[in-house]
Every structure is written in C-alpha cells, then in structure tokens.
Amino acid sequence: MRSAARIALATALLAGAGFGFLLWRGPEPGGIDDVYTALFGPADLGPVDFERMARSDSPNDALACPEGVCAAPVDIVTPVYDVPGARLREIVVEVASAEPRTDIVYASIREETDRFVARTGLMRYPDTIAARIYGAGPGRSRLALYSRSQIGYSDMGVNRARLERWLEEIERRVAAEAGVAS
C-alpha cells in the first residue's frame, strides 16, 4: 500500500513539474501555447460578422456594439465617436497594444477590422477580440468589439471587463483629441 502511495505521489510530482515546464516555456516552441493549439486549435478564433453573429451559449464572451448594428444581444452599447474611422481604428490598436500579453493577429484596412489575441497571466488562456469600425458621417465613426474565450465554459467576467477597460481608454483618448482640436 505504501509503495502505491509513493508511486502516485511521484507521478503527481512529475506531472506537476511537466506542466510547470510547459507554463514556463509559454509562447516558445514546445510551450503551453503549442499545447493549447494542439488541443483546441489556433488561438485566433477567426472573423466576426457583427451584423449576423450569434453569441456563444456559454458565458465566456462579451459584445460591445453600436445601436442597431449587431444581430446578437449586446452587453455594452457603444457611442458615436467624434473622430474619423481611420483615426478611431488607430486608437483601438494603440489601446489593445498597450494591454499586456495582447497581440494583433489580423488587420484589414478594406474591412476596417482588426483582431487581437490576449492571454491570461499565469495559464496563458487565449481570448480573441474582434474590432470593427463603422462610419457615422463626416469625421465621425462607431465601433463594435467582441471578446471571446477559446478555453473554458465561463470567464468570470474577464471579457466584459476587458471591453469596459478598452472602451473607457478609447473614449478618454478620443475626448483628449477633441480637446486638442478645439
């Protein structure tokens, strides 16, 4: 009986050490990012058609959208911004790029769309954030954001908190530019 307990303990320690090594390697070849890709597919969950999208059945996503644009239920209604679409897009990229462990994975000027992958601190779970700019008349634009988790059923509000944080910073930067232009 004692030898079975020792074998179980040794196995658990070895498994823990192996998992710790994968976490330590992180984004490097052979790290936890590669394991997640092998198990769950690419971290980038792909494009979002905001006008026709359906939300996930699990509570691990968040949607911010201008009124009347998104087909799915919206968590946060975004305002009309007093900057041209190209500038709003630059601001979104700046805000996203300032976030730790967040990388741009797709950018299209023609579609006015960008996608980012953000990873959690310790476990490096990937979330995909899609951003789309919509025109709103001369010198004005609107923004849709969809943040969704690749792994797990619930995100404990992480995606919504991310969108709220990004939108607050975007609004602050747009307001600062409007103050400079006045």
2 and 48 in a single domain? The answer is no
Q: What is the pLDDT of residue 15?
A: 61
Q: Which of 12-21, 102-111, 149-158 has the lowest mean pLDDT?
A: 12-21
Angle between the N-to-C axes of helices 85-98 and 158-181, in degrees from 0 to 180, rounded to the nearest 10: 130
Express each pLDDT in 32-58 by its tens digit. Answer: 777 777 888 888 999 999 999 999 888
51 and 35 in a single domain? The answer is no
Q: What is the pLDDT of residue 16?
A: 63
Continuous segment of H or E residues that includes residue 87: helix 85-98
Q: Does the pLDDT at position 149 exceed 90?
A: yes
Assign 129 a pLDDT band (cuts: 50, 70, 90). very high
| Domain count of the fold of the chain | 2
Residue 172, domain CATH? 3.30.310.220
Q: What is the pLDDT of residue 180?
A: 65
Domain that holds residue 89: 43-181
Edge-first strand order for the sheet with 141-149 is 76-78, 61-66, 141-149, 126-135, 113-119, 102-108
25 versus 36: which is more confidently predicted?
Answer: 36
3 and 74 in a single domain? The answer is no
35 and 114 in a single domain? The answer is no
121 and 137 in a single domain? The answer is yes
Q: Which residue has the tokens 């394991």?
A: 35
Q: What is the pLDDT of residue 91?
A: 98
User: Can you say whether the dihedral through the CA atoms of 32, 38, 41, 42 is positive or negative?
Assistant: positive
88 and 174 in a single domain? The answer is yes
26 and 37 in a single domain? The answer is yes
Strand partners, 8: none
80 and 35 in a single domain? The answer is no
